[in-house]
């Protein structure tokens, strides 16, 4: 078993408290364990938390295990999550049905516990390997930040979480000012160094584990701040502007300032705001991009927000 297992999360779903307690005790030393007593609570866990494997009874209240499986497998956000079903009394017909709808395994609740543990550990090992590969494929090779593909996935997930949890979500689009002039004056190798430095500053500005930074393309970056309202985001932006200036990277002749600076477009989505005009995650980025354009037109080295 690899140490990576301790970072993985197992969701156990059952309305039987004894079964929940037994399974939690069985796996709590191996993984982070979340529990749910019905399908509705389980679905909220799956959509709002980073669940790596679901271990579910079939006959769960409100939403059945099979209905939950169908929803999970039909959603682009959650389709990757493997599901193991535990049957009160296993039958071949039910096993066939569960596997056909996308479950990765099917076991009788009375199966030997050592077999259940081995199957869960084997699947988690595959999940860990897939996560490592995904991290490589979703990372920008130059800056080490997430790439555009990972940004799109994370943005949609955080938007949904903000809607469900009624908490704010802020997006910043960050652009290095006069970067074309910088490349023309100093060459692309120095340009790459500049990108890496700014990327490190952006990554270091994250205050919560849920904060997320990515390279958007070229000299543009995105910083997502879940649970952060406009006032909190403004503080992050002002600190970010100052921290980039403090790197004292010489700017080329003809640039707006003597050292390399950034401009920031900021937009905040708040589900509880009656004046909100943003309908989806794309609107949030579009609004931030519009504010970035205004910041550039207004002289750069600043943040613009609504």
Active site residues: 219
- Which candidate, 128, 132, 105, 129, places its Cα nearest to that of 117? 105
Q: Give the distance from CA 298 to its chain's centroid.
A: 33
Beta bridge partners of 175: 220, 263
Instruction: Report in angstroms the alpha-carbon separations of 11 from 112, 131, 161, 279, 295.
Output: 20, 17, 18, 31, 45
Q: Give the distance from CA 212 to its chain's centroid.
A: 7
181: helix, strand or coil? helix
CA gap 183, 186 in Å, rounded:
5
Supply 33's token pair.
């364990």
Decide if 265 contacts 288 (C-beta within 8 A): yes
Q: Give the distance from CA 257 to its chain's centroid.
A: 35
Decide if 81 contacts 46 (C-beta within 8 A): yes
Supply 176's token pair.
């290095």
CA gap 34, 12 in Å, rounded:
6
Decide if 75 contacts 140 (C-beta within 8 A): no
């Amino acid at each position: 078993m690899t140490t990576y297992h301790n970072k993985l999360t197992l969701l156990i779903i059952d309305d039987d408290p004894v079964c929940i307690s037994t399974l939690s005790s069985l796996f709590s030393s191996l993984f982070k364990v979340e529990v749910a007593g019905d399908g509705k609570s389980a679905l909220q866990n799956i959509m709002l938390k980073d669940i790596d494997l679901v271990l579910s009874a079939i006959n769960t209240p409100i939403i059945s295990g099979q209905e939950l499986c169908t929803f999970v497998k039909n959603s682009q956000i959650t389709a990757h999550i493997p599901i193991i079903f535990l049957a009160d009394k296993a039958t071949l017909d039910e096993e066939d049905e569960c596997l056909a709808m996308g479950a990765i395994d099917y076991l009788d609740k009375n199966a030997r516990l050592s077999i259940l543990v081995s199957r869960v550990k084997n699947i988690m090992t595959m999940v860990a390997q897939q996560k490592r590969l995904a991290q490589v494929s979703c990372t920008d090779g130059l800056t080490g930040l997430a790439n555009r593909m990972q940004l799109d996935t994370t943005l949609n997930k955080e938007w949904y979480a903000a809607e469900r949890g009624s908490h704010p979500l802020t997006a910043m689009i960050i652009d290095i000012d006069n970067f074309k002039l910088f490349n023309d004056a100093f060459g692309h190798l120095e340009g790459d160094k500049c990108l890496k430095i700014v990327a490190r500053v952006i990554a270091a500005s994250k205050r919560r584990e849920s904060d997320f930074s990515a390279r958007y393309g070229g000299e543009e970056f995105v910083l997502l701040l879940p649970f952060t309202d406009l006032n909190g985001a403004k503080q992050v932006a002002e600190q970010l502007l100052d921290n980039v200036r403090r790197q004292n990277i010489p700017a080329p002749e003809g640039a707006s300032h003597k050292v390399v600076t950034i401009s920031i477009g900021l937009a905040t989505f708040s589900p509880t705001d009656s004046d909100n005009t943003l309908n989806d995650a794309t609107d949030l980025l579009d609004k931030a991009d519009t504010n970035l354009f205004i910041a550039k037109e207004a002289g750069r080295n600043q943040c613009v927000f609504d």
